[in-house]
A = this chain, B = another copy of it.
């Protein structure tokens, strides 16, 4: 059941009684998006926190020259969206778009605040999730400064092999902060090195 999936994820981090579990379950709504549809678009206020049950998405920023910059991918069991927009209920700077048919669990801002009151432990769950996300973000900044594009690509393929297989290359280039042409060049280099 859909509810089980997200409850399972929460229960990996905090203990919930059956009653609390029921309250949590009832707070979520389920929705399916088609390929290309947007879960959140920049300038809209992010009304929902979104947990992916199946499918895959990308979160990206559109700069003033019209170029897309992918900040994050999301697949099964990942939280996605513009956390800043949701937390402060201000217009989003980021877009979250589905790269294939994607089923999600969503909780609205009001329901989340109510849930924090009804099941205060959920504060702990969200804190733990965000702390981990923050940690990986800081490491990413450091890597962008201390590693070459080639090194970052190799690290990415090791860390997220499922994403490498399921996402077009030009999006991985965007995530790494390089052009698709240069990623192609890097891949050629790597292929040639492996021949020897």
Chain A: residues with CB nearer than 8 A to chain B?
61, 63, 67, 69, 71-72, 83-84, 87, 93-94, 116, 120-121, 123-124, 126-128, 130-135, 137-142, 144-147, 177
Q: What are 8 A-B pairs at a CB distance below 8 A?
A: A69-B146, A72-B138, A120-B120, A120-B124, A123-B124, A123-B127, A130-B134, A134-B137
Copies of this chain, count: 2
A71-B141, A126-B127, A130-B127 known; A63-B146 Cβ under 8 A: yes
**Chain A residues touching B, majority SS:** helix
Q: How far is the CA of A74 from the CA of B147 in the complex (A)?
A: 25
Q: How far is the CA of A69 from the CA of B141 in the complex (A)?
A: 10
Chain B neighbourhood of A94, CB < 8 A: 138
Chain B neighbourhood of A84, CB < 8 A: 131-132, 134-135, 138-139
Q: How far is the CA of A86 from the CA of B127 in the complex (A)?
A: 13
Chain B neighbourhood of A139, CB < 8 A: 84, 93
CB of A69 within 8 A of CB of B127, answer: no
Chain B neighbourhood of A126, CB < 8 A: 127
CB of A135 within 8 A of CB of B83, answer: yes
Q: Which residue of B lies closest to A63 (CB)?
A: B146
CB of A87 within 8 A of CB of B131, answer: yes
CB of A144 within 8 A of CB of B146, answer: no
Give me 13 other A-B pairs in contact (C-beta within 8 A), A69-B145, A93-B139, A134-B134 excluded: A61-B146, A72-B138, A83-B138, A84-B135, A87-B131, A87-B135, A94-B138, A116-B124, A120-B124, A123-B124, A134-B137, A137-B137, A137-B138
Chain B neighbourhood of A142, CB < 8 A: 61, 69, 71, 93
